[in-house]
């Protein structure tokens, strides 16, 4: 059956960029909604999508080309991030993205899906969010056009920075086909300095001091549960052990308890990433828990922690970047959102199955950027077939 036949029920699995673009154009001609699927690790994020949508799977778009001379790589969107990192590690490089890769031991998250969802991990403390790793993108638009911003570009002819807009768009502008990404040296020999406290103000003070005094940290996270938490600061590369000892000294000076250094730190950071997902809602032991990703000013860390305690939530996050992940019951989402500090926002990434159609995951109503976001989507997907309903752009 032709890839261009929008009436087909089985998924489309294009092997080339032109096949993907043809499938989109065929769906647009019939005004049929399309759902993009990578590794499937985040299919339950966002609003439920329209039934009968044509699914386009990117799994056959899985090429990695490394350009060591300019420290970049060209990566097809359907390539699993785990495979990308293994490939790059053989050349002593890495892509500075380390979000959770999937539930129940699965490592299915693809590079395209990670970028589309702007899903970041602890390394974002030093290297920034997924959009900061991009040098260029290639996207198939719903009219069948294949648009590339090039390795050093970013702006389309009408002034839109497609490279920047793609990260976090949840596939509502078009299908990501390929990414040009910046690479970083793979620094071996990691050490993590950690300390604890039952005082949110001390955690905030410690995070602020570390961010100012130790600018070479790979990651700076916090964790909080049941009235107590801690800071974790990872260092890597040359003299990492000595630098970690200096971080411990700073933590002690900020009044934190039990400051120490761990060399076997992989488990610590695996737990941090695990805290960025609620329990699998398909499992009975999930307890009906949800996950709220909160964007806030770094100075509001103490307030976010106290709010987590009030809601009976656990929390992890980037201690100096103002990103927190709260695991809580679904009925606490509304009161937590209402109590967030001014300028903060909360997006519900994981929701129990029973509440997924009842709770607005985005809560963007009244956003001052709503009109701009709607205009951008109208420019790139005028018929609204790309992941329609999944991501509320403010309308």
Each residue's pLDDT tens digit, 105-151 = 678 999 999 999 999 999 999 999 999 999 999 999 999 999 998 65
How many other β-carbons are positioned within 10 Å of the β-carbon of residue 22? 18
Mean pLDDT within 309-327: 98
Q: Decide if 1-186+364-395 and 191-273 have a common fold.
A: no
Evaluate if pTM is beyond 0.85: yes
Structure tokens at 258: 């039990």
Find, among 5, 53, 52, the residue nearest to 29 by Cα: 5
Mean pLDDT within 258-278: 96
The H or E element spanning position 271 is helix 266-274
Half-sphere exposure for 165 (CA within 13 Å, toward CB): 24
Find, among 88, 97, 148, the residue nearest to 118 by Cα: 97
Query: Residue 209 above 60 pLDDT?
Result: yes
Q: In whole angstroms, give the CA distance from residue 187 to residue 78.
A: 26
Domain edges within the chain: 1-186+364-395, 191-273, 275-355
Find, among 129, 109, 98, the residue nearest to 59 by Cα: 109
pLDDT attached to residue 391: 82
Rg of the chain in Å (alpha carbons): 21
Between 35 and 367, name the one with better pLDDT.
35
Between 43 and 319, name the one with better pLDDT.
319
User: 1-186+364-395 adopts what CATH topology?
Assistant: 3.30.465
Q: In whole angstroms, give the CA distance from residue 38 to residue 23.
A: 16
pLDDT attached to residue 395: 45
Query: Residue 5 above 90 pLDDT?
Result: no
Q: In whole angstroms, give the CA distance from residue 247 to residue 252.
A: 9
Mean pLDDT within 312-319: 98
Q: How confident is the model at residue 271 (pLDDT cuts 50, 70, 90)?
A: very high
Class of domain 191-273 as given by CATH: alpha beta
Q: In whole angstroms, give the CA distance from residue 161 to residue 135.
A: 11
Q: Which CATH architecture has domain 275-355?
A: 2-Layer Sandwich (3.30)
């Amino acid at each position: 059956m032709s890839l261009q036949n929008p009436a087909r029920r089985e998924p489309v699995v294009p092997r080339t960029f032109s096949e993907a673009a043809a499938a989109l154009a065929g769906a647009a001609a019939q005004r049929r909604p399309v759902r993009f699927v990578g590794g499937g690790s985040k299919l339950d994020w966002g609003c439920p999508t329209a039934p009968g949508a044509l699914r386009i799977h990117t799994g056959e778009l899985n090429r990695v080309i490394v350009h060591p001379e300019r420290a970049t790589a060209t990566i097809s969107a359907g390539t699993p991030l785990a495979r990308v990192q293994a490939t790059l590690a053989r050349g002593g490089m890495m892509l500075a993205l380390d979000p959770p890769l999937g539930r129940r031991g699965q490592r299915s998250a693809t590079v395209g899906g990670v970028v589309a969802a702007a899903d970041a991990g602890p390394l974002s403390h030093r290297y920034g969010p997924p959009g900061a790793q991009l040098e260029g993108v290639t996207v198939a638009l719903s009219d069948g056009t294949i648009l590339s911003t090039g390795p050093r570009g970013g702006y389309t002819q009408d002034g839109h920075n497609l490279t920047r807009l793609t990260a976090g768009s949840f596939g509502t502008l078009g299908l990501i086909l390929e990414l040009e990404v910046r690479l970083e040296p793979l620094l071996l020999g990691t050490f993590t300095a950690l300390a604890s406290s039952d005082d949110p103000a001390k955690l905030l003070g410690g995070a602020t001091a570390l961010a100012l005094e130790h600018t070479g940290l790979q990651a700076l996270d916090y964790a909080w549960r049941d009235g107590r938490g801690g800071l974790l600061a990872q260092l890597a590369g040359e003299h990492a052990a000595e630098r970690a000892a200096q971080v411990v000294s700073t933590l002690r000076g900020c009044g934190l308890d039990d400051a120490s250094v761990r060399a076997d730190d992989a488990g610590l950071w695996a737990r941090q990433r695990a805290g960025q997902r609620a329990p699998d809602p398909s499992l009975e032991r999930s307890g009906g828990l949800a996950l709220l990703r909160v964007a806030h000013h770094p100075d509001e860390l103490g307030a976010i922690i106290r709010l987590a305690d009030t809601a009976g939530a656990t929390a992890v996050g980037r201690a100096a970047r103002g990103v927190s992940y709260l695991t809580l019951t679904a009925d606490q989402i509304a009161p937590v959102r209402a109590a967030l500090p001014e300028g903060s926002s909360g997006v519900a990434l994981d929701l129990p199955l029973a509440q997924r159609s009842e709770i607005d995951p985005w809560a963007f109503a009244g956003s001052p950027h709503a009109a701009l976001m709607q205009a951008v989507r109208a420019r790139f997907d005028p018929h609204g077939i790309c992941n329609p309903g999944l991501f509320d752009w403010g309308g």
